[in-house]
């Protein structure tokens, strides 16, 4: 039986490190997933892509990044390999001619249907490691962290934009302060006019 709360905590920085603990839990979850899915089943990421596409066919790779949380380069490689295996099909998007729309092939649909009960079994095993009274709270917290992860790219853009604006305002204020500090009677030197060199 897994000890909970204070009993499971050990002294040291790793025991108090959320990033380390989440990494350990992720390893455990992926091990359980692999055991349940079997060697013939899809990987966790393949399952996530197929499940997202099954909910809404015709998603672009950009849509899939948002739906699954898999980074763009990894997802592009994953979709290419799954297409080669015959699990996915790609065609030009009707909404954006530059983008490729992804759909499940018949083989992909069959693999997804076979995998769903196995993934549910993995999820039950993982949740079974927690006391019943803490499972809903655990899922809520995971959902909040996932939502933060989804919002991070947009937040980073907004932060960068705000920083750029603040820097521009600071330069403007600095220039105004320098101008205000100049003596009232000081005459600025006129800029030298450029003299065109004679063409030989």
Cβ proximity of 76 and 61 under 8 Å: yes
Q: What is the mean pLDDT of each run of 10 residues along the chain (200 residues)?
A: 53 82 94 94 94 88 89 92 93 70 93 96 96 95 89 72 81 81 63 62
Element (H, E) at 92: strand 88-92
In this prediction the pTM is 0.67
Write down the pLDDT at residue 90. 86
Element (H, E) at 100: strand 100-104
Write down the pLDDT at residue 118. 96
- 7-21: b or e for each residue (b if 16 or more CB lie within 10 Å)? eeeeeeeeeeeeeee
For β-strands 100-104 and 59-60, DSSP reports them as antiparallel
Write down the pLDDT at residue 42. 95
Write down the pLDDT at residue 81. 95
């Amino acid at each position: 039986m897994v000890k909970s709360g204070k009993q499971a905590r050990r002294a040291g920085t790793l025991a108090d490190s959320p990033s380390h603990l989440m990494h350990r839990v992720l390893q455990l979850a992926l091990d359980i997933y692999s055991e349940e899915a079997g060697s013939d089943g899809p990987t966790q990421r393949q399952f996530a892509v197929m499940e997202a596409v099954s909910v809404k066919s015709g998603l672009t790779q950009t849509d899939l990044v948002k739906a699954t949380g898999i980074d763009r380069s990894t997802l592009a490689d994953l979709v290419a390999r799954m297409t080669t295996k015959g699990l996915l099909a790609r065609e030009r998007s009707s909404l954006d001619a530059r983008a490729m729309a992804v759909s499940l092939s018949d083989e992909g649909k069959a693999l997804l249907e076979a995998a769903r009960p196995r993934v549910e079994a993995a999820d039950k095993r993982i949740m079974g490691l927690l006391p019943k009274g803490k499972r809903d709270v655990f899922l809520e917290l995971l959902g909040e962290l996932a939502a933060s992860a989804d919002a991070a790219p947009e937040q980073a853009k907004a932060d960068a934009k705000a920083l750029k604006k603040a820097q521009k305002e600071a330069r403007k204020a600095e220039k105004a302060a320098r101008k205000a500090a100049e003596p009232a009677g000081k005459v600025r030197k006129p800029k030298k006019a450029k003299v065109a060199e004679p063409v030989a």
